[in-house]
Amino acid sequence: MNVHSFLLSLSYQIKHMVALSKSDIKRNALINATIKLVISNGFHATPMSKIAKEACISPGTIYLYYKNKQDLINNVYLHVKQKFTQAIFQNYTNNTPVEESFKIIWYQIADYRLKEVAEALFLSHCDNTPIIDDESRKEGIKHLQPLLDLWERGQIDGIIKKACPYVLYAYAVYPLAFLINAKQRDDYELTDESKEQAFKMAWDSIKITEHKS
Amino acid sequence: MNVHSFLLSLSYQIKHMVALSKSDIKRNALINATIKLVISNGFHATPMSKIAKEACISPGTIYLYYKNKQDLINNVYLHVKQKFTQAIFQNYTNNTPVEESFKIIWYQIADYRLKEVAEALFLSHCDNTPIIDDESRKEGIKHLQPLLDLWERGQIDGIIKKACPYVLYAYAVYPLAFLINAKQRDDYELTDESKEQAFKMAWDSIKITEHKS
Amino acid sequence: MNVHSFLLSLSYQIKHMVALSKSDIKRNALINATIKLVISNGFHATPMSKIAKEACISPGTIYLYYKNKQDLINNVYLHVKQKFTQAIFQNYTNNTPVEESFKIIWYQIADYRLKEVAEALFLSHCDNTPIIDDESRKEGIKHLQPLLDLWERGQIDGIIKKACPYVLYAYAVYPLAFLINAKQRDDYELTDESKEQAFKMAWDSIKITEHKS
Amino acid sequence: MNVHSFLLSLSYQIKHMVALSKSDIKRNALINATIKLVISNGFHATPMSKIAKEACISPGTIYLYYKNKQDLINNVYLHVKQKFTQAIFQNYTNNTPVEESFKIIWYQIADYRLKEVAEALFLSHCDNTPIIDDESRKEGIKHLQPLLDLWERGQIDGIIKKACPYVLYAYAVYPLAFLINAKQRDDYELTDESKEQAFKMAWDSIKITEHKS
DNA sequence: GATGAATGAGAATTCATTCAT
DNA sequence: AATGAATGAATTCTCATTCAT
């Protein structure tokens, strides 16, 4: 390869990078705009034109990235869900004892939701509302597999109650959504202390108690 | 009471019932239609015309009963919330021991939601979505006071954790909403057995455990 | 006729008078309500229900008196027009000299419009707007005949310009409508002095001037 | 200017014309459609859909140009008023003697209204009806300033009666509106001769007469 | 790829009119 | 005669989507 062709290739790559970048920037702006507007207005009360304006692009451009409004919301949902589960399972290994593992994951869930409030509200909104396609919803649940595996391990070890995953999720994870919603609406403060307490309650609910209560 | 006065009274009652009926039947049909359509399509994806059709009345007639769509949803929300809280606090007295009281109320909540699935889904939808006016939302929360009082009593007695009502609610009541949603969507079965288990988890999460876990 | 039948007949008459009265009261209330609402909102922006409410009757009752909304406005227009022309031509005889006659009529027009501002605005509204049926409009013009006769007399006598009635009306009468409108909107005050001046201008415009201007 | 720069300039102008066209053609079609339909049906009896159809655009497109129906009528009113006053004051200078100036303006008013009958009827409709916002109405009056100035000049010179502008307008200009209305409705013909006569009447009404009448 | 003007179907709401009482 | 609840057609306005540039 001579210098000339190398430079050509380089220029192409840079150009391509920039092109990718540009498109990724837009895609990201689009996602954030969608999240922001959906949590404050609801999906159907959020026009595509406003999403476009918030993302600083033209309404027509959205359709270069997504087939239609439903496709947009489905994809944003999956994107956020994925980002969320990626965050909460980082560093997870199945060597760690069950309780410790659960504690790590639970705090990572809590901290993520406290840091990324908009995303948390968005997920809560989508999960309690019929706006997401069944297919996408099921796709989103899959990502939780490590948590389900952990619970199964805990059940085998006699540490965690023999409830089905839905029930365990309802008590161990779902309440956090309520607390984030409340925090957003009622100035309820979720301090480190009350976070600790919430964790204890989550764990108390799913662990097996040796003594009768 | 003699026969005559009895019949008079009866006739009055019947007449009164009929008088109530005319508009109350419509109002009820309207409420049920709204609940049904909102839980399956979402509020903003449910046109007034469809609500009218479902309620077997003319679109214009809705506006004789409610000022506008927002007024309709606010009122339906408050109606359902009230009906719900009325049901779960029936027979409640503050003489009963805390745990027993909680158990009674919890089971009444669970049973009501299992029996009135549509209403339960509707409340869940409204509570996790920005469609209800702040004012109506706050109005709706008030009805829960007896439960908050019970918790306070339990805290004074050293039976219930010293968490704020939001947190207690998040763990003791909110998970049920998830289970109803799941049941509706995934054919997850909420049997008597799993109901018992769910109650145990709720109670374990909020009660104070004597021994360290 | 014996006493009994006399009393019967009397009672009938009284009853009949009352009945007439009742209906006339409603008819009047209806007319006044229509005038009031039309001048402040316009005909098409005034719902029948509001007219009914303003007249303290039920919407359905309007249709006992008038075939429909168009029929209502036509009749109100003719009623007001008739009342107006009746007022301005009272005491008119064609013995009086032309200028004096004109002065009397002009002042009666002005005074009537100043006293019955609502009616004046209503007529102005109807006359500059396509809401009145052609037929009713033509019917309304007929009532002005005495004024046209007076002008003809004036023209024969060489006192009034040989313009057609439309032109004479445009200058002698129509300007008053503008002044009433202005008075209503801009707090322009129509004092006795300016009324005198307005009359002079009306007369100057239609009278024949001996000298070149 | 050489050929090259001329062609450049021409090309720019054409491009500019075309650029203007796209939206200006629509805006104009919209204005004309509004005028036409409002004068024959009245504002509130003219649906936006009909205006759109008349202007050969889609109903939704109107809302790209005007915020709502009220905004549309306000803007059309101001547009027509401006076009009208621009036409009647062209060539006006305050060097010309008062009477001559008035004659020129009066004839320009008359001729404009005779030529642009639709616009004239539209202005008459708006000016005698509560459909225009107060703000826009006041804005529209401002344009008449030169005429008010002329009258003031005439009053200082002792040529024009010391009446306030409203009164002068009522007699000198307003009658024309009546004549145009009449011409439109009753086939009353406004010939050159009667136009001359109308002018004389307008002038007679506002000028100061040396001799008592 | 990107734009944003234009579309037109569909939404909320109003209101003239009817009709059972 | 009088009512006023009910109707449903018609109106204003919105917004997902397209397409010429």
- Nucleic acid strand F within 7 Å of B22 CB: yes
Q: Region B108-125: what's the mean pLDDT?
A: 94
CA of B61 to C1' of F7 (A): 8
- How distant, in Å, are the alpha carbons of A47, B59, B72, B125 from that of B68? 21, 11, 6, 20
Q: Region C19-39: what's the mean pLDDT?
A: 86
Tell which wins on pLDDT, B142 or D34. Answer: D34
pLDDT digits (tens, 9 = 90+) for D154-202: 999 999 999 999 999 999 999 999 999 888 887 678 888 889 999 999 9
Q: Is the pLDDT of residue B125 over 80?
A: yes
Q: Measured between CA atoms, how close is A86 to chain B, in angstroms?
A: 23
pLDDT digits (tens, 9 = 90+) for C52-88: 999 999 999 999 999 999 999 999 999 999 999 999 9
Q: Do chains D and C touch (3 or more CB pairs under 8 A)?
A: yes
CA of D43 to C1' of F21 (A): 37
Average pLDDT of the residues of chain D: 88
Output the pLDDT for position C152: 95
Tokens for B88?
Answer: 């779960």
For Cα atoms B154, B155, B160, give the angle at the middle one, nearest 5 degrees: 70
Q: Region C38-49: what's the mean pLDDT?
A: 93
Measured CA to C1', the nucleotide nearest D70 is: F12
Output the pLDDT for position D181: 87
Q: Is the pLDDT of residue D46 over 70?
A: yes
* Residue A91, Ramachandran bin (φ over 0: left; ψ between -120 and 50: alpha; else beta): left
Output the pLDDT for position B18: 47
Q: Region D6-23: what's the mean pLDDT?
A: 56
Q: What's the number of CA atoms in the CB half-sphere (13 Å) around residue B63?
A: 6
Q: Is the pLDDT of residue B140 over 50?
A: yes
Output the pLDDT for position C213: 44
Tokens for B83?
Answer: 């009906």
From A147-156, A183-192, B46-55, C37-46, the region with the lowest mean pLDDT: A183-192
- Nucleic acid strand F within 7 Å of B79 CB: no
Q: Determine which helix (DSSP H) or strand (DSSP E) holds B61, and give its type and residue range.
A: helix B59-65
Q: Is the pLDDT of residue C201 over 80?
A: yes
> Which chain B residues have a beta carbon less than 8 Å from that of A125?
128-129
- pLDDT band for B98, please (50, 70, 90 cuts): very high
Dihedral (C-alpha) D110, D114, D116, D118: value to the nearest 10 degrees? 110
- How distant, in Å, are the alpha carbons of A157, C128, D16 from that of D125? 87, 6, 35
Looking at residue C131, its amino acid is I
Q: Is the pLDDT of residue B97 over 60?
A: yes
Output the pLDDT for position C3: 65
Q: Is the pLDDT of residue B178 over 90?
A: yes
CA of D25 to C1' of E3 (A): 21
Q: Region B135-153: what's the mean pLDDT?
A: 91
Q: Region B93-101: what's the mean pLDDT?
A: 91
Identity of the highest mean pLDDT range in B19-28, B46-55, C126-135? B46-55
Using an 8 Å Cβ cutoff, are C198 and D170 in contact?
yes
CA of B59 to C1' of F5 (A): 14
Q: Is the pLDDT of residue B68 over 70?
A: yes
Of C128, C175, C204, Cβ closest to residue D128: C128
Buried residues in C96-129 as b, exposed as e (16+ CB within 10 A): eebeebbebbbebbbebbeebeebbbbbbbbbbb
Q: Is the pLDDT of residue B111 over 90?
A: yes
Q: Helix axis angle, B174-186 relative to B98-115, nearest 10°?
A: 30
Please report, for chain B, how many H helices and E strands are present, in that order: 11, 0
From A135-144, C203-212, D34-43, D153-162, the region with the lowest mean pLDDT: C203-212
Could you give all domains of chain B from N- to C-terminal order, each with its CATH number?
1-65 (1.10.10.60), 69-213 (1.10.357.10)
pLDDT digits (tens, 9 = 90+) for D47-83: 999 999 999 999 999 999 999 999 999 999 999 999 9
Using an 8 Å Cβ cutoff, are C73 and C43 in contact?
yes
> Which chain A residues have a beta carbon less than 8 Å from that of B176?
170
- Nucleic acid strand F within 7 Å of C53 CB: no
Buried residues in C74-86 as b, exposed as e (16+ CB within 10 A): bbbbbbbbeebbe
Q: Region C23-29: what's the mean pLDDT?
A: 86
For residues A194 and A196, give the distance between their C-alpha atoms in angstroms, rounded to a whole number: 5
Q: Which chains touch A (3 or more CB pairs under 8 A)?
A: B
Residue in the structure block whose two tokens are 């359509």: B37
Tokens for A205?
Answer: 């609910």
Three-class SS of residue C61? Answer: helix
For Cα atoms D33, C124, D166, give the angle at the middle one, nearest 5 degrees: 95
From A202-211, D3-12, D100-109, D128-137, the region with the lowest mean pLDDT: D3-12
Q: For chain A, how far is it from start to end, CA to CA, in angstroms?
A: 77
A-B CB pairs within 8 A amount to 142
Q: Region D90-94: what's the mean pLDDT?
A: 84
Output the pLDDT for position C103: 95
pLDDT digits (tens, 9 = 90+) for B73-83: 999 999 999 99
Q: Region B36-63: what's the mean pLDDT?
A: 95
Q: Does B159 touch chain A if contact means CB atoms closer than 8 Å?
A: no
Using an 8 Å Cβ cutoff, are A110 and A176 in contact?
yes
For residues B155 and B144, give the distance between their C-alpha atoms in angstroms, rounded to a whole number: 17
Q: Is the pLDDT of residue B138 over 90?
A: no
Q: Does C42 touch chain D if contact means CB atoms closer than 8 Å?
A: yes
* Residue C77, Ramachandran bin (φ over 0: left; ψ between -120 and 50: alpha; else beta): alpha
For Cα atoms C94, C100, C106, give the angle at the middle one, nearest 5 degrees: 95
The DSSP code for C167 is: H
Question: Would you call B213 and A203 a contact, using CB atoms and an 8 Å cutoff?
Answer: yes
Q: Region C89-107: what's the mean pLDDT?
A: 91
* Residue % of chain D over a pLDDT of 90: 67
Per-residue pLDDT of chain A (213 residues; tens, 9 = 90+): 566 666 666 666 665 555 557 788 889 999 999 999 999 999 989 999 999 999 999 999 999 999 999 999 999 999 999 999 999 998 888 889 999 999 999 999 999 999 999 999 999 999 888 899 888 988 888 889 999 999 999 999 999 999 999 999 999 999 999 999 888 887 678 889 999 999 999 999 999 986 544
Output the pLDDT for position B76: 97
Of C125, C166, C204, Cβ closest to residue D129: C125
Q: Is the pLDDT of residue C206 over 60?
A: yes
Q: Is the pLDDT of residue B21 over 80?
A: no
Q: Is the pLDDT of residue B108 over 90?
A: yes
From A46-55, B44-53, B131-140, the region with the lowest mean pLDDT: B131-140
Secondary structure in 3-state letters for chain A? CCHHHHHHHHHHHHHHHHHHHHHHHHHHHHHHHHHHHHHHHCCCCCCHHHHHHHCCCCHHHHHHHCCCHHHHHHHHHHHHHHHHHHHHCCCCCCCCCHHHHHHHHHHHHHHHHHHCHHHHHHHHHHHCCCCCCHHHHHHHHHCCHHHHHHHHHHHHCCCECCCCHHHHHHHHCHHHHHHHHHHHHHCCCCCHHHHHHHHHHHHHHHECCCCCC
Output the pLDDT for position B213: 44
- Nucleic acid strand F within 7 Å of D42 CB: no
Interface test with B, best of A113, A128, A136, A162 (most B CBs within 10 A): A128
Using an 8 Å Cβ cutoff, are B178 and B161 in contact?
no
Output the pLDDT for position C129: 86
- What value does the CA radius of gyration of chain D take, rounded to a whole number of Å? 21
3-state helix vs strand vs coil in chain C, percent to 5: 75, 0, 25
Q: For chain C, how far is it from start to end, CA to CA, in angstroms?
A: 77
DSSP track, D148-210: HHHHHHHHHTT-B----HHHHHHHHTHHHHHHHHHHHHH-----HHHHHHHHHHHHHHHBPPS
Output the pLDDT for position B55: 96
Length, in residues, of chain D: 213
Q: Is the pLDDT of residue D136 over 80?
A: yes
Output the pLDDT for position D81: 94
Using an 8 Å Cβ cutoff, are C42 and D44 in contact?
yes
